Each structure stands twice: as C-alpha cells, then as structure tokens.
Amino acid sequence: IYSTYIGGQQSDVSRGIELDGAGNVYLAGYTTSDGYPTTPGVFDRVHRGGNDLMVSKLNPSGSSLIFSTFIGGQDDDFGYSLTLDRNGNTYVTGSSESPDFPVSQGAYDTSKSGDFDAVVLKLNPTGTTLAYSTFLGGSMEDVGKSLRLDYDGNVVVAGETFSPNLPTTPNAF
C-alpha cells in the first residue's frame, strides 16, 4: 500500500511498530542521526549524543509525520518495543547508558544503577510530554525488550538482565 523512508544522515533503526485504530503507524527505535526528522512542539527535537531513543507517528497513508521525537541523554539510549493504550498514549521500553536520561519526578527509579538500565516511559498522544519515565535495573546490564498493558492498564515489561540484584517483588519465583 505504501513504502517510505524515515531517517537522517547516520544510522536509524526501528525495533517496535504498532498501528492504532485509525491506521496511524507508530515506530520506536534509535538513531545516531542529528538530522532524524522531528516535528514542532514534541518532547525533544535535539539529538543528545550517541544513539538516542526515537518515537515517530506517521499518518495512515505514510505521507507525513504526525509527531516524531528524540528521547535520550548524553550516552546511548535504545527503544526496542512499544504499545498503545485506548487513549492514544504510547508506551516504550528499551535501555539507557545515560545518567541524564529524562526521568519523571516521582518515578520508580530516578537514577541509573548499572552499565545499562532498562527504561520504561509513557508519551502523551501528541508526543509533547512524558507522562512518566523511569529506569528499571540493577548493578549490571538490564534491557527492556518487550512490553504490553494488562487489562487494568499496568505495564508489563520483559527483557534481559545480567544484574544479580534486579529489583523483584516479594515471593517472586
């Protein structure tokens, strides 16, 4: 039905893709391109360094960007999976090496604990605001590879860890 490019002058990788009920296409991934296309008014139009996590939304015909934003810090940040809720919010998981990755006040974990920590974030429907963003990890490398919402709207994240002290809940397996 259509095929298009989206990217800048360097490496651009999409790892997650979703469709909403209107046929809009959402992408999450990472880019080293300063010139990766962003749209006015989004959360962040500035490439911060290394790989930055990116989230983009294309219209149903693939002919224009509805929104496109960077999310990252000074080091490498990766997006691997995304999902949507019925209100049009975008949820993304991945990993970050950046101690200055944008996290929200009151987040589960506001500071990076290991080499790479998993990140989980919620972006509002217009891509202008992080509803929340948090680190999730232990003392070594942790990566969020997939996420979904349960029936109550809670985020369920799956991934990989090398951390012997990844936070767990009481009586977990």
How, if at all, do strands 130-136 and 142-149 pair?
unpaired
pLDDT at 173 over 90: no
pLDDT at 70 over 90: yes
Whether the full predicted model's pTM is greater than 0.85, yes or no, is: yes
Residue-level pLDDT at 85:
97
Residue pLDDT, tens place only, 94-127: 999 999 999 999 999 999 999 999 999 999 999 9
The closest alpha carbon to 91, from 64, 140, 130, 118, belongs to 130
Residue-level pLDDT at 3:
94
**Distance of alpha carbon 160 from alpha carbon 118, whole angstroms:** 9
Amino acid at 125: P
Q: Residues 94-106, buried b or exposed e (16+ Cβ, 10 A)?
A: bbbbbeebbbeee
